[in-house]
Amino acid sequence: QVEVEESGGGLVQAGGSLRLSCTASGRPFSRYALAWFRQTPGREREFVAADNWIRGTQYYADSVKGRFTISRDNAKNMFYLYMNTTNPDGTAVYYCAVKAGIPAALYLKREYDYWGQGTQVTVSA
């Protein structure tokens, strides 16, 4: 069983920055596919960003590309979502997700085995 936990949510003004953190137990952390998703009331949970340990590459939803950055620190079993140039459309509960192994598609939430409890991010206009 892998335990996953986010932190770092809160209130930020539009145009500001915020960093979300996620820790995942278990080893080897370097072999986890990592991702961030977000959800607003009444809507499906949507893909935000993912890190592919196989290729060492990152993937982003078009809505956040160029503004958000996903990164990992294998030594600390941590990964992060750096949110820059935020806008009110980014208000949501953000979830980190982990898969031990290789997902068929990084942007599909069904591919991930372990999820955090979610952290609220509110971007004020």
Q: What are phi and psi of 25, to 5 degrees?
A: -80, 175
Q: What is the pLDDT of residue 21?
A: 98
Q: What is the 3-state secondary structure (H, E, C) of 22-85?
A: EEECCCCHHHEEEEEEEECCCCCCEEEEEEECCCCEEEECCCCCCCEEEEEEHHHCEEEEEECC
CA distances from 70 to 50, 90, 93, 125 (A): 7, 15, 17, 24
Pairing verdict, β 18-24 and 4-7: antiparallel
CA–CA separation, 29 vs 109, rounded Å? 19
pLDDT means over runs of 10, the chain (125 residues): 93 97 87 94 97 87 97 93 96 96 90 95 97
